[in-house]
Amino acid sequence: MMEPPSSSRCQLHGSASPMILRRCLFLLLLVLPSCCSPALAATPYLVGMGSYDITGPAADVNMMGYASAEQIASGIHFRLKARAFIVAEPDGKRAVFVNLDACMASQLVTVKVLERLKARYGDLYNENNVAISGIHTHAGPGGYLQYVVYIVTSLGFVRQSFDVIVNGIEQTIVEAHNNLRPGKIFVNKGDLLDAGVNRSPSAYLNNPAEERSKYQYNVDKEMTLIKFVDDGLGPIGSFNWFATHGTSMSRTNSLISGDNKGAAARFMEDWAEENVIPNQAAHVSSGNPRRVSALISEPNEITDDLIRLASSFKASGGRQISGSNITRRIRSTQQNKPKFISAFCQSNCGDVSPNVLGAFCVDTGLPCDFNHSTCNGKNELCYGRGPGYPDEFESTRIIGNRQFLKAVNLFNSASEEIQGKVDYRHTYLDFSQLEVNVPSSTGGQQVMKTCPAAMGFAFAAGTTDGPGAFDFKQGDAKGNAFWRLVRDVIRPPGPEQVKCQAPKPILLDTGEMKVPYDWAPAILPIQIIRIGQLVILCVPGEFTTMAGRRLRDAVKNVLTNSGQFDDNIHVVLAGLTNTYSQYITTYEEYQMQRYEGASTLYGPHTLSAYIQEFQRLATAMVSNKQVPTNLQPPDLLNRQIELLPGVIVDKTPPGVTFGDVSSDVPANSTFRKGSTVNATFYSACPRNDLLTDGTFALVEKLDGSNNWVPAYDDDDWSLRFKWSRPAKFSSRSFATLEWTIPEDAPSGVYRLRHFGASKPLIGSIKYFTGTSSAFAVR
């Protein structure tokens, strides 16, 4: 036990006076809590977790990822979320990691989130200890990045997309901060073999044979998972890092979706609700269970009486409601229950595709050309196939489910406790002119430079996950005369830039294009977060498999050679973090000029620059030194151009009310589990109100007291919200609710309900709802 200071010691010898005894008892009470408290003695960390809805506009907005102008959002597959953990030493440093169901992080989003955190908490959370990372779904609304090249297809900046992400991240971190409690963290890792393949194998093969021989696979198969355990409540969540692209959903999809990683997170959080949270019942008061099956006992059979009961509930017709009456998402109503949070984070996914069956020509069914991913010389015909081909939703489910099952396995078997201090380092670098020491041909060292950003011809060819157009192709180190002429009209690259970027033939010299403002970033953040023996390398782009391996190994060598870490160190790479700067290949892969090499913005020595600067960060961290920088990225919010027109007015036909049914469920209908039921409603543009933390779609079940109970909403895998207009500029619109009845749905009487918000020509937004006729599920 810790002794009190000598001037305050209790000398209990002879006949102690009552005053001395009272004094000793008082000092003992002061000392015991600090030295003998089980929680403080056993737990080195405070742990907090949070999540919040970041679903953007489900209509009219171009989706971010494929750069396809035709891919416009028109509904919701399931909602997007921000998820965060905070780990803090009780009297020391703390770190925040936020995972977004978004294509990537945005520098402008990061800047504005940090401003809000500073207003709330002072310097407690800042650019050094906050990391914001994207899962790389290609099915989320775009327009939230600040550089021109990333918002061309979204018709410029989309303030609604931007605001919902910034607000959601802030609320997520606030929730995690408020949830900080003593807890432990465990780490585990294992291989997942069937959730990713290399989509540029010819470039990977250009890496040295000796280096390739160290690895069994041409993509990283390892998933690293950390498990959070609250000292009082038990397990409260997990985060994992695994490399595979968010491209199970194709560029023809128009429903907002978290793709395979968002699906995996949804599956694991629902799994935890059934398998983890019930074990915490002794620690919390009772609340609403997630699933309707826990609310209502299932009938033994569907009787004629039940079918007649269902047929007695006709479509309600639309009616106005107040905004406060919009049903909150079912998961959000569980205020008295702990919330399990699971995030499936991105890693070095640059050349990793979830379309694991391979790439085939759509015209012949034969494999695509190995070197160029073309079919008879055309890239437009070469597509990767997911495991559920030709059903992209099924492919998304399968790849998500594979990640989920591996995560559950790692979660259940995690036994290695994370121990050690929390630390971090962060700096900004000008990648347009960074000096890099690289090996020379004579065996020595030479100083080279990175280049201003530029994209090569093969960038326009796209990938097997989403091919480009015209006559571009991957592996093109020359370009062609026509597109060079087009390029030169826009901005011809100078001879120094051409030399610096070689052998990349420059299609867009984005780093030197400044009208109406910067087309591409130059100032980039790099960051290391340490939590005990876990080290997270936060990178602002998409590293290929081998590029990620080289970076991880280089940092690991610095850390283990310092004597502060043993071989049990876990180094993970968090891709698409804090901002976005496209791809990072190895020097050898860059020579091949496939899509990833053509999209490596800062030239052939980009990876060497990252390795050099991350080694510097790691050295500073183990030496307890700071990394000063005078650089700051630009804040271009006030210069953003928004060309997407706003909603003018919503209308219905004469005699029709918003929320009325346009196409009802068939009368007196009974559906079996696994079948699909749908109804269409007269609706309004979803951009009028995103219904954040609410829902556009609801499945309700009739309970034994003839009350309608929420069962499934638009954050459920089984329920899709589809929005449409009869014509492009029509003021009329429709909402179709499509429910594929889960196999574990209880039998009984159900109906579909739609919520929305309409905009009159003059006046404020008005909210409405309507229901379909009821139907029986057997």
Annotated binding site for Zn(2+): 136, 245, 542, 583
Buried b (16+ CB within 10 A) or exposed e, 257-281: bbbbbbbbbbbbbbbbbeebbeebe
Output the six-digit token pair for 375.
Answer: 């079919």
Output the six-digit token pair for 3.
Answer: 């002794």
DSSP string over 674-697: T-EEEEEEEE--GGG---TTB-SE
Q: What is the CA 727 to chain-centroid distance, rounded?
A: 33
Q: List, in sequence order, every residue forming a beta bridge with 676; answer none if it has no partner.
A: 740
Residue 665, classified by CB atoms within 10 Å of its CB into exposed (0-12), middle (13-18) or buried (19+), is buried
Q: What is the CA 216 to chain-centroid distance, rounded?
A: 28
Collapsed DSSP state (helix, strand, coil) of residue 768: strand
Provide the residue type at 352 as one letter. V
Provide the residue type at 693 as one letter. D
Q: Tell me phi and psi for residue 379, to 5 degrees.
A: -80, -20
Per-residue HEC secondary structure of 267-297 comes to HHHHHHHHHCHHHHHHHCCCCCCCCHHHCCC
- 708 Cβ contact list (under 8 Å, min separation 6): 700, 701, 702, 751
Output the six-digit token pair for 587.
Answer: 């020097």
- The strand ranges marked E within 104-208 are 130-134, 140-141, 181-191, 197-198
**Cα R_g (the chain), whole angstroms:** 28
Q: Give catalytic status of residue 353 as yes or no.
A: yes
Q: Which of 200, 353, 599, 747 is catalytic?
A: 353
Alpha carbons 78 and 298: distance in angstroms, whole number: 26
Q: List, in sequence order, every residue forming a beta bridge with 238; answer none if it has no partner.
A: 227, 342
Output the six-digit token pair for 81.
Answer: 């979320």
In contact, 355 and 247? CB cutoff 8 Å: yes
| Binding-site annotation: residue ranges | 136, 245, 542, 583
Give me the residue label for tokens 């390029």. 487
The 10 Å Cβ neighbour count of residue 5 is 7
Collapsed DSSP state (helix, strand, coil) of residue 638: helix
Q: Tell me phi and psi for residue 571, to 5 degrees.
A: -105, 120
Query: What positions carry a catalytic annotation?
Result: 353
